[in-house]
C-alpha cells in the first residue's frame, strides 16, 4: 500500500510540475471541399484553447507556449475560449506575452463558459458586466479579434473562407447558452468554405451537423481531455468520454462530411496538472 501510494503521489507531482507545461504540438489536416482553386492549399491555422490564466504560477511557461505557436509560422491563430478561470484580472499580468502572438491574417478568439464571470458571486450585475467589459478591452489591447456571434472573411485570389465565431453554447443546460450561429452568419454571402469556432464540442452534434451542414469544420476545446487519461497507439481513454461523445482530436460525420477538432487545452483548472493528456497546440493545415 505504501508503494502504490508513493507511485500515485509521485505521478500527481510529476503531472503538476512537469507534464502540465509539456506542450504537445499536434498536426492535423482539415478538408474544405469548396476551396477548389488551390489558393488555400496548405493554409496553416494554429489553434490553442483553454488557457485558464488564473492557474499559471509563472510567465515563463506561457512564454514557451507562445514561442511554440509562433515557431509554426501560422497564417492564422485561433483561440477557442476560457482565457480565465473566474475574473478578467487573472489575465492582466500576461498581457505583454500574449501580445506577441501574431499571424498574417490575424489572431481570433471566442469566449468560453469561464470567461463570462458566471462562477463568481458578484456584488451587483453592474460589477459582473464591468468584468466582462474589461475582458473585451483586454482582447483589444493584445490585438486579438474577439468574435462574439460574428464572422470575418479571408480572401485569397478569387476564393473566400469564412471564419465564424460564436459565444458559448452547450448541450448541457447548466451552462448558459449565449451562442447563435444564425446571428454570427448574418450577411455572410457566398463563400467557398466555413470554419466555426465554438468552445463546447457538444454544439457540433446537437446543432451544427443537424442544422448547419454548410459548416465544413468546427474547432472546439472545453474538455481538456479531463487532464487525465491514456493516449498511446491503439488506446485512447479518458473519463472525459463519459461526459462528452467528442472529447479530443478529430471527428468526422460520415453523412455530412463535416469535421470537428477538439483541442485538449493548454492550461488547467481544478487539479493543477496533467497526467497522460498533455497540453496541446494544434497546427491545422487546409487541404494538405
Q: What is the pLDDT of residues 221-238, one digit of tens each?
A: 999 999 999 999 999 999
* Residues 68 and 23 sit within 8 Å (Cβ to Cβ): yes
CA distance 83 to 208: 24
Closest CA to 232 of 277, 274, 273, 284: 277
- Give the start-to-end residue ranges of the domains of the chain: 2-286
Average pLDDT of span 154-173: 97
Whether 13 has a pLDDT exceeding 80, the answer reads no
pLDDT at position 11 is 77
- CATH: 3.10.350, 3.30.1360, 3.60.21, 1.10.15. Which one for 2-286? 3.60.21
How many CA atoms lie less than 13 Å away from 189 in the CB half-sphere?
7
* Residues 263 and 219 sit within 8 Å (Cβ to Cβ): yes
CA distance 219 to 195: 8
> pLDDT tens digits for 111-140?
999 999 999 999 999 999 999 999 999 999
Instruction: Give how far Cα 102 sits from Cα of 59, 129, 172, 190, Å.
Output: 18, 28, 34, 28
Edge-first strand order for the sheet with 193-197 is 150-156, 159-165, 193-197, 217-220, 259-262, 249-252
pLDDT at position 12 is 73
Amino acid at each position: 500500500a505504501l508503494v502504490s501510494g508513493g507511485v500515485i503521489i509521485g505521478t500527481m507531482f510529476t503531472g503538476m510540475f512537469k507534464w502540465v507545461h509539456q506542450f504537445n504540438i499536434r498536426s492535423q489536416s482539415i478538408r474544405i471541399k469548396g476551396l477548389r482553386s488551390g489558393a488555400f492549399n496548405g493554409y496553416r491555422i494554429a489553434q490553442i484553447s483553454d488557457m485558464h490564466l488564473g492557474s499559471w504560477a509563472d510567465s515563463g511557461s506561457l512564454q514557451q507556449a507562445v514561442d511554440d505557436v509562433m515557431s509554426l509560422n501560422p497564417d492564422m491563430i485561433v483561440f477557442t475560449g476560457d482565457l480565465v478561470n473566474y475574473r478578467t484580472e487573472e489575465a492582466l499580468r500576461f498581457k505583454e506575452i500574449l501580445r506577441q502572438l501574431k499571424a498574417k491574417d490575424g489572431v481570433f478568439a471566442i469566449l468560453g463558459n469561464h470567461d463570462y464571470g458566471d462562477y463568481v458571486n458578484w456584488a451587483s450585475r453592474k460589477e459582473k458586466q464591468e468584468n466582462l467589459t474589461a475582458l473585451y478591452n483586454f482582447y483589444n489591447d493584445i490585438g486579438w479579434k474577439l468574435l462574439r456571434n460574428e464572422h470575418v472573411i479571408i480572401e485569397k485570389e478569387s476564393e473566400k473562407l469564412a471564419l465564424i465565431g460564436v459565444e458559448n453554447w452547450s448541450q448541457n443546460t447548466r451552462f448558459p447558452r449565449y451562442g447563435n450561429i444564425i446571428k454570427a452568419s448574418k450577411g455572410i454571402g457566398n463563400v467557398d468554405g466555413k470554419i466555426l469556432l465554438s468552445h463546447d464540442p457538444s454544439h457540433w452534434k446537437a446543432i451544427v451537423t443537424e442544422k448547419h451542414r454548410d459548416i465544413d469544420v468546427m474547432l472546439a476545446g472545453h474538455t481538456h481531455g479531463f487532464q487525465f487519461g491514456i493516449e498511446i497507439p491503439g488506446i485512447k481513454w479518458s473519463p472525459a468520454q463519459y461526459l462528452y461523445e467528442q472529447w479530443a482530436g478529430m471527428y468526422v460525420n460520415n453523412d455530412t462530411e463535416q469535421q470537428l477538432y477538439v483541442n485538449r487545452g493548454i492550461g488547467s483548472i481544478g487539479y493543477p496538472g496533467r497526467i497522460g493528456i498533455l497540453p496541446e497546440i494544434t497546427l491545422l493545415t487546409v487541404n494538405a
